[in-house]
Amino acid sequence: MILEMLDTITEMLQNREFHNLRSLLTEYEAADIALLFAEVPTESLGLLFRLLHKEDAAEVFVYLDTDLQQALLQTFSDAELEEVFDELFVDDTVDIIEEMPANVVKRILDSADPEKRAQINKILKYPKYSAGSLMTTEFVELKTHMTCEDVLKSIKRSGVKKETIYDCYVTDASRHLIGVLSVKDLLLAEEETDTVESLMLTEPISVGVLDEEEAVASTLKKYGFMALPVVDNENRLVGIITYDDAMDVLEESSSEDMEMMAAITPTDKPYLKNTVWETWKNRIPWLLILMLSSTFTSKILQHFEDALVQCAALTAFIPMLMGTGGNAGGQVSVTVIRGLSLGEIRMGDVLRILWKELRVALMAGGTLAIVNFCKMLAFDNVTMLVAAVVSVTVFSVVVLAKLVGGLMPILAKRLGCDPAVMANPFITTIVDVMSLLVYFGMAKMLLGL
Amino acid sequence: MILEMLDTITEMLQNREFHNLRSLLTEYEAADIALLFAEVPTESLGLLFRLLHKEDAAEVFVYLDTDLQQALLQTFSDAELEEVFDELFVDDTVDIIEEMPANVVKRILDSADPEKRAQINKILKYPKYSAGSLMTTEFVELKTHMTCEDVLKSIKRSGVKKETIYDCYVTDASRHLIGVLSVKDLLLAEEETDTVESLMLTEPISVGVLDEEEAVASTLKKYGFMALPVVDNENRLVGIITYDDAMDVLEESSSEDMEMMAAITPTDKPYLKNTVWETWKNRIPWLLILMLSSTFTSKILQHFEDALVQCAALTAFIPMLMGTGGNAGGQVSVTVIRGLSLGEIRMGDVLRILWKELRVALMAGGTLAIVNFCKMLAFDNVTMLVAAVVSVTVFSVVVLAKLVGGLMPILAKRLGCDPAVMANPFITTIVDVMSLLVYFGMAKMLLGL
């Protein structure tokens, strides 16, 4: 790994062995060099960056964190800035621009040639998280009358500036998307005189420029495509989305789901890059809401204060009941949330899910109730009646929790919210209230409190 | 969407309009046709499948769920079976074989030609979840002396049977991996007489055949490669892993993390495919463990029974304290688990994490304690001293929970366990115990119970 070289590299920098350092760096991938950049002192950044070969430099730049990019940009002359951005793909340029302060954005836009500037501005105008803002405008566009030979020549001429050359898109005179031709089919074609029209696949799968990026990434994944064409509402080709960007979107979307499930406001930044203040800000609202919502449980317990004083043994099992309910409900809600997010569960499946969860809940509730009953009699020094109250409550709470856990995410989705919000913490709060009501109901019935 | 066509297609099947149906089906992608297959009655499956064009049929087959594949295989003659599997890539064949009962496996292996059977057996012998079991052996292999023209000819001859032709791998006489050449570089090369040696990138990134599939998929994603070569321990090229398979692995790995975080034993099967029995089996052990571990909280509450009888108001806030502790700890643990799993957090970052979480915890604990204090005085009808006991406990519990939540996943990783096990439910159990001890400690100090 390159980080094991950190000491050597720092030493070479200090001894000004620039030539050796330069050839050492060429042995590493851009993604690895970016890791190295995150570890060296900021004042060496500019020097180290200038040692990279021109093409490598731009690629390394893309992999850097926003703060390092900004630090480097400040050291760049206008000529250097132009050199780096000239090598970048349009979609990477846009990603960088979106994170930079206005004065840096201006410098970047000023350095771009008019055509590229137009492309950048086009992508910038699409809403965040839309296909338009994720796509690149650098793709290979073909016309039906071209022969294999024409296509290969065209790729040779312009391919180096394209994000991918392997899927080429065929458009008519008004730029409507009419077909797709892979380089594989091109290379396997019988004759150099075969035309695009005879080789292309017609009616290609495409996505709309305003579609949500998560849906687009799922579509790409579903079909296993290397790239997906993006069209406007008149089916004119405006860009493509490539598999590597789709992978990033899918991973971010999983992270967001996890964060929401854990009652955290999602953020794009890696954990260690968030300041203490930002981390606090992402977490405190949910903690506050959940804390305040437990007023319900407090009120219930206050209401039954006399009962608890009469039979103090009951208090000892409140945490267990609430915990078990929360865990049982959390299991279902996370399963349903993930299923919805991967498209494995559709909205029409509600009844199937509830019917299934009801049966699982009866089995799980029964198992837990029996184990709990035996355990309480053997170890907890309580009467059989108290053990019965607790165990019947365990059973009821598990069944209720599983149904609530299954229903809430689906309800959230139907109401247009993100189902992930309805995960463990919220289910727990609802289940807590239900557990206590069932518990005291049972106690009233069986113990006559 | 194809599912909107379900009625039309069922009708066409009943009216035996096979010719029209066949041409209708050609308009759809294999992934969509597979969705359709999951909805038609089982007895029509064989008929519908035979209407597909030969190449499409194999691709649709790969997308089907295991139970449908098995149902179809039973209707196949040996010739039909051979026809389908002849079109499949080796890695897809292996994936199918791994899920089938022994007698079906035998039929599939018997139908394969000796060379393919050897490849299948080679992949089958690698452990599950290793790079070896994920890879395919169908890649383009080049030698250094070949010219661009040779390579293009070679691709034309054998490319149709390769999983990808876009990254080609260069080996020496003993099949050691020495370089990689992309078709892009090949097509952009100046001369048809340029050799592979002059165009290839040397010292390519590769993974070991026994590496874990998740690590391999992360490597591919990190570099944005389309495929990653897999080598044995002597650096001989044995296979490649393509981006689409890596995407599947990463998604499954996120699902597994989420399931473990919710105290569910992970499973490969989609939710609705699991039987009630399987779902119960994946969930009950954790519910049992967590239920039984709450014996600790019961014992503590029993121990302080007298104190609770003396000051019954304290009971009402136990659920709020435990809930807040669990939520605060869960936020940190999920953040750290995800960070570890994405490689954003490394084991060396422990101190940075704890220092950061300590500061966040002090801020969050302070906010919650103040809000709680005001809320209790305003709405809960308690003395200022009780409000103080509860609020100081809130503060301590949040701080402790955040530190435990940050530390436990890292500890799990250091012990060689999956950090995801240390998520919300486990943290909650630990935090519950701590909350009660702090609570009664405070009550003793401030209320003199």
pLDDT tens digits, one per residue of A321-341: 998 998 999 899 989 999 888
More confident residue, B3 or A292: A292
pLDDT on residue B40: 85
- A405: which 2 tokens? 């856990």
The CATH number given to whatever domain includes residue A78 is 1.25.60.10
Three-class SS of residue B177? strand
Phi, psi of B145 (to 5 degrees): -80, -10
Closest chain B C-alpha to A54 CA, distance in angstroms:
17
φ, ψ at B282 (rounded to 5°): -75, -20
Residues of B in contact with A294 (CB under 8 A): 319-320, 323-324
pLDDT confidence of residue A38: 85
- H, E, C per residue of chain A: CHHHHHHHHHHHHHCCCHHHHHHHHCCCCHHHHHHHHCCCCHHHHHHHHHHCCHHHHHHHHHHCCHHHHHHHHHHCCHHHHHHHHHHCCHHHHHHHHHHCCHHHHHHHHHHCCHHHHHHHHHHHCCCCCEHHHHCECCCCEECCCCEHHHHHHHHHHHHHHCCCCCEEEEECCCCEEEEEEEHHHHHHCCCCCCEHHHHCEECCCCEECCCEHHHHHHHHHHHCCCEEEEECCCCEEEEEEEHHHHHHHHHHHHHHHHHHHCCCCCCCCCHHHCCHHHHHHHHHHHHHHHHHHCHHHHHHHHHCHHHHHHCHHHHHHHHHHHHHHHHHHHHHHHHHHHHHHHCCCCHHHHHHHHHHHHHHHHHHHHHHHHHHHHHHHHHCCCCHHHHHHHHHHHHHHHHHHHHHHHHHHHHHHHCCCCHHHHCHHHHHHHHHHHHHHHHHHHHHHHHCC
- Taking 50 as the pLDDT cut, the residues of chain B under it are none
What mean pLDDT comes out for the span A63-79? 87
- Quick check: is B253 in a domain? no
The beta-carbon neighbor of A335 closest among B166, B271, B320 is B271
Q: Is A247 close to B243, i.e. CB distance below 8 A?
A: yes
pLDDT beyond 70 at A102? yes
Answer whether residue A267 is part of any domain.
no
Residue B339, both tokens:
């960070």
Q: Which residues between 138 and 177 in chain A have a beta carbon less than 8 angstroms from any beta carbon of chain B?
A: 152, 155-156, 159-160, 165-166
CB count in 10 Å sphere of residue A351: 8
The number of domains in chain B is 3
* Amino acid making up residue B318: I
> Cα dihedral angle (B49, B53, B54, B60), rounded to 10 degrees?
-50
User: Same domain, yes or no, for B146 and B121?
Assistant: no
DSSP 8-class letter at B160:
G
**What pLDDT score does B424 carry?**
67
pLDDT, chain A, mean? 88
Q: Is pLDDT of A35 > 70?
A: yes
pTM of the model: 0.84
CB neighbours of A57 closer than 8 A, spacing ≥ 6? A49, A50, A83, A84, A87
Verify whether the Cβ–Cβ distance A290 to B324 is below 8 Å: yes
Check: CB of residue B142 under 8 Å from CB of residue B168. Answer: yes
Please give the pLDDT value at position B183: 93
- Cα separation of A15 and A13, whole Å? 5
CB atoms within 10 A of CB B99: 14
Residue A231 has pLDDT above 80, yes or no: yes
Q: Is B393 on the interface with A (CB under 8 A)?
A: no
| Contact across the interface for A184 and B203, Cβ inside 8 Å | no
In a domain, A211, yes or no: yes
Confirm whether B132 is domain-assigned: no
Pair (A100, A155) in one structural domain: no
List chain A residues with CB under 8 Å of B185.
Answer: none
Which pLDDT score, from 0 to 100, does residue A1 have? 64
Any B CB within 8 A of A441 CB:
no
Beta bridge partners of A180: A169, A201
**pLDDT band at residue A424 using 50, 70 and 90 as cut-offs:** low
> How close A12 comes to chain B (CA, Å)?
23
Range of the domain at A12: 2-125
What tokens were used for A226? 């290397």
Whether residues A307 and A434 share a domain: the answer is: yes
Q: What does the pLDDT average to over A178-190?
A: 91
Helix (H) / strand (E) element for B22: namely: helix B18-25
Residues A209 and A320 in one domain: no
Nearest-CA neighbor of B106 among B122, B117, B119? B117
Scanning the structure block, which residue is given the tokens 């048809």?
Answer: B192
The residue among A68, A101, A125 that closes a domain is A125
Q: Do A283 and B257 touch (CB under 8 A)?
A: no
Same domain, B121 and B148: no
Burial of B262 (0-12, 13-18, 19+ CB in 10 A): buried
pLDDT at B1: 64
* B180 shares contact with chain A (CB less than 8 Å): no
- Smallest CA-to-CA distance from B439 within B306, B317, B287, B280 is with B317
Kindly state whether residues A65 and A15 are assigned to the same domain: yes
Chain B residues in contact with A291 (beta carbon < 8 A):
320, 323-324, 368, 371-372, 394
* B429 vs A contacts (CB less than 8 Å): 323
C-alpha A188/C-alpha B139 separation (Å) is 15
The CATH code of the domain that includes A427 is: 1.10.357.20
| Partner-chain contact B292 A224, CB within 8 Å | no
Question: From the centroid of its chain, how far is CA A76?
Answer: 33
Q: Residue A229, SS3?
A: strand
E strand or H helix at A14? helix A6-14
Picking from A212, A243, A274, the residue at the C-terminal end of a domain is A243
| A299 shares its domain with A431 | yes
**Given an 8 Å threshold on Cβ–Cβ distance, is B368 in contact with A280?**
no
What is the b/e burial string over A264-288, where b = at least 16 CB atoms within 10 angstroms of the residue's CB? beebeeebeebebeebbebbbebbb
ipTM attached to this prediction: 0.82
- Find the helix packing angle between A243-261 and B318-342, rounded to 10°: 160
Confidence of residue A400 (pLDDT cuts 50, 70, 90): very high
pLDDT at site A219: 94
Does a structural domain hold residue B47? yes
Task: Kindly tell me if the per-residue pLDDT of A165 is higher than 70.
Answer: yes
Q: Is B374 on the interface with A (CB under 8 A)?
A: no
Helices B42-51 and B30-37: angle between axes, nearest 10 degrees: 150
The last residue of a domain, from among B90, B125, B160: B125
Task: Note the pLDDT of residue A54.
Answer: 80
Q: How far apart are CA B21 and CA B52, in angstroms?
A: 9
Task: Say whether A330 and B262 touch across the interface (CB within 8 A).
Answer: yes
Residue A217: Cβ within 10 Å count: 26
Query: B187: which 2 tokens?
Result: 């097509």
Tokens of A126: 């699409």
Q: What is the helix (H) or strand (E) element at residue A178, kind and residue range? A: strand A177-182
Does residue A146 sit in the same domain as residue A109? Answer: no
Using a CB–CB cutoff of 8 Å, tell me whether A355 touches chain B.
no
Q: By the CB < 8 Å criterion, does A251 face chain B?
A: yes
Q: Please tell me whether residues A73 and A148 are part of one structural domain.
A: no
**Residue type present at position A258:** M
Q: Does A4 touch chain B (CB under 8 A)?
A: no
pLDDT given at position B213: 93
Judge if A219 and A352 occupy the same domain.
no
**What tens digit of pLDDT does each residue of A121-133 get?**
888 889 988 999 8
Nearest-Cα residue of chain A relative to residue B328? A287
Burial A140-159 (b: 16+ CB within 10 A, else e): bebbbebbbebbbebbeeeb
Per-residue model confidence as pLDDT tens digits over B64-100: 888 888 888 888 888 888 888 888 888 888 888 888 8
Higher-confidence position of A355 and B429: A355
A154 and A51 in a common domain: no
In whole angstroms, what is the distance from residue A169 CA to residue B174 CA?
40
- pLDDT, residue B345, reads 86
- Domain harbouring B202, CATH code: 3.10.580.10
- Domain assignment present for residue A130? The answer is no
- State whether B247 and A247 contact (CB < 8 Å): yes
Q: What is the pLDDT averaged over residues A48-54?
A: 86
A171 is a domain residue: yes
Note whether residue B162 is domain-resident.
yes
Structure tokens at B410: 């890292």
Averaging pLDDT over each range in A92-101, A385-394, B44-53, B270-279, which range is the top one?
Answer: A385-394
Probe site for chain B from A39, A287, A305 (most B CB atoms < 10 A): A287
Q: Which two tokens stand for residue A289?
A: 């809401």
**In a shared domain, residues A11 and A110:** yes
Q: CB distance from B286 to chain A under 8 Å?
A: yes
